[in-house]
Amino acid sequence: MLLGITLTLPNLHGQYRAFKNQEGQTITAVVLKKTDESVTLRTKDRKKYDYPIAKLSREDQEYLANWSPAFHGNDLPTSIGQRCSKEERAKRLAAAGGNEQTEEAVLEALRWMKSTQAPDGSWGTSNRAAMTGLGLLAYLGHCETPLSEEFGETCLRAMVYLINLGIKNDGKLAEITAAKSWPYEHAIAVQALAESTAFCQQLMITVPNLKEITQKAGQFLIDNQNSNGGWAYSYEKEQTAHTDMSITGWHLHALKCMEQTDLDFKNLATCAASGLKYAASLQSEDGEFGYKRQLHTTVDRYFSLTGVGVSCMQLWDKGEDKKVRNGVNYIIANTKLKWGEPECDLYGHYFESIAIRMHGGKAWETYNQLMRDEILRNQNPNGTWKVPEGKLRAVGPVFQSNEFYRTVLCTLILEVYHRYQPLKPQ
């Protein structure tokens, strides 16, 4: 049952316009695309019309002469706007070692995800807030929003599910908050809603209750940080509670997305600083990040959370730190990716791909060589990804049995070419 809003496109303030032809007839619609001769309009009931520009009123012709696609980089923050410009995306893809196959693989995955979305906007049969948050991040990573022609409704439905969950649970973004691991879900969902808010506020898209739930859920995340600076299972605050690099990483990523909105979160900077201090305490001198303490791992002596720690430090302006360089060096010296082998940890590679992409240089060239083609060759014809068989060098590899989770992780990895950029000019 939908508690907050219904699954229809919201009013898009600043986007819909009453177009008038030279006979005085009007149509209220949003512009989808235009050529020199014609414009494609979409009405609020989602009907599309192609109309000759020359037959519109002089005012509408002037409006269209100055119109540019929503994602042309003009109305968005630089980091989002550049990655969503088609020209810039193509440049980034080529410069980073991506290709047409990586883009096509992402599109095939997004189409499969669209076909499997539940009527309430969610994905998955368990941990639905986390799965829906990751799914929404994958669409946003491809610059899809409620305005998108092919995936607009899919994006909106995912937002609606998370918003309604937040309304139902007073800002807590999980269906079962009695589960100890529910903070994972909350952090992932907050990241997705915060990035949605950043997109929508710049494009003047009003999604009812989006800002309100993002504000409440995000503030809850800040207010329930553990006293040691990390985040704990069940959001316990005692220093004896279980905190670790994995759960803390999701919260630090969410905080960065929260910072990029126009919402006012109390103590966000202090919270992030405490979280980074906690993360740094888990790193050894050789660069690897432990799970609960330095040199602590449960998977065959490989420190699979190093990408989590490194990416958190990079996102929070510590990319030049020696600790980051040491972490990158550790990953490049030790990471592997091959289906059927123990190292096929897609969860670890999601964070490693972000960390190494932001580092750039030879490290990225090396990582891309082991990652790109291996990911591509293991995609199924329907857009999903094959199961990594066998015992993996990973903690709780749920993605082995969860087709959606596996697919969305691979999709996010392939979006890293344009979603993130090296912190230093290359």
Tokens of 376: 């591509």
* Surface-to-core class of residue 177, CB atoms within 10 Å of its CB (0-12 exposed, 13-18 middle, 19+ buried): middle
Predicted confidence band of residue 2 (pLDDT cuts 50, 70, 90)? very low
Handedness of CA 186, 350, 415, 153 (dihedral sign): negative
Check residue 242 and give its pLDDT.
Answer: 95
Predicted confidence band of residue 47 (pLDDT cuts 50, 70, 90)? confident
Q: Mean per-residue pLDDT for 399-413?
A: 97
Tokens of 354: 């972000």
Check residue 81 and give its pLDDT.
Answer: 60
| Choice between 131 and 12, residue whose per-residue pLDDT is larger | 131
Nearest CA to 117 among 147, 145, 163, 159? 159
Q: Mean per-residue pLDDT for 172-178?
A: 97
Q: Mean per-residue pLDDT for 10-33?
A: 74
Nearest CA to 422 among 364, 372, 351? 364
Handedness of CA 109, 112, 113, 114 (dihedral sign): positive
Check residue 112 and give its pLDDT.
Answer: 98
Residues 370-387: pLDDT tens digits? 999 999 999 999 999 999
Residues 374 and 167: their CA atoms lie apart, in Å, by 41
- With residues binned 3-state (H G I as helix, E B as strand, rest as coil), the percentages for the chain, rounded to 5, are 50, 10, 40
Name the DSSP class of 38: E
User: Are the C-beta atoms of residues 242 and 234 closer than 8 Å to each other?
Assistant: no
Q: CA 426: distance to chain centroid?
A: 24
Check residue 72 and give its pLDDT.
Answer: 32
| Choice between 408 and 60, residue whose per-residue pLDDT is larger | 408
Based on C-alpha coordinates, what's the Rg of the chain?
22
Is it the case that residue 4 has pLDDT exceeding 90?
Answer: no
Q: Mean per-residue pLDDT for 353-363?
A: 97
Residues 391 and 400: their CA atoms lie apart, in Å, by 10
Residues 294 and 315: their CA atoms lie apart, in Å, by 21
Tokens of 368: 């891309």
Q: What is the mean pLDDT of the chain?
A: 89
Residues 91 and 110: their CA atoms lie apart, in Å, by 22
Check residue 7 and give its pLDDT.
Answer: 43
Report domain extents, the chain. Answer: 17-65, 98-267, 282-426
Is it the case that residue 193 has pLDDT exceeding 60?
Answer: yes
Name the DSSP class of 19: E
Long-range CB contacts (< 8 A, 24+ apart) of 236-241?
Answer: none
Q: Count the helices and strands in the chain (H runs, E runs).
A: 16, 4
Return the ∠ at Cα 109 (arms to 107 and 113), rounded to 5°: 115
83: phi > 0 → left, psi -120 to 50 → alpha, else beta; which?
alpha
Residues 290-307: pLDDT tens digits? 999 876 665 667 899 999
Is it the case that residue 177 has pLDDT exceeding 80?
Answer: yes
Check residue 36 and give its pLDDT.
Answer: 85
Name the DSSP class of 40: E
Check residue 394 and give its pLDDT.
Answer: 83
Residues 42 and 250: their CA atoms lie apart, in Å, by 37
Is it the case that residue 203 has pLDDT exceeding 90?
Answer: no
Residues 260 and 258: their CA atoms lie apart, in Å, by 5
Q: Mean per-residue pLDDT for 226-239?
A: 96
Residues 50-81: pLDDT tens digits? 889 999 999 899 888 876 544 333 334 555 66
Residues 239-265: pLDDT tens digits? 899 999 999 999 999 999 999 898 999
Does CATH number 3.10.28.10 belong to domain 17-65?
Answer: no
Residues 271 and 275: their CA atoms lie apart, in Å, by 6
Q: Which residues pair with 33 in a beta bridge?
A: 40
User: Are the C-beta atoms of residues 198 and 80 closer than 8 Å to each other?
Assistant: yes
Check residue 163 and give its pLDDT.
Answer: 98
Nearest CA to 385 among 416, 352, 417, 410? 410
Residues 87-126: pLDDT tens digits? 777 888 888 999 999 999 999 999 999 999 999 999 999 9
Hey, what amino acid is at 375?
Answer: I
CATH fold, domain 98-267, is Glycosyltransferase (1.50.10)
Check residue 42 and give its pLDDT.
Answer: 76
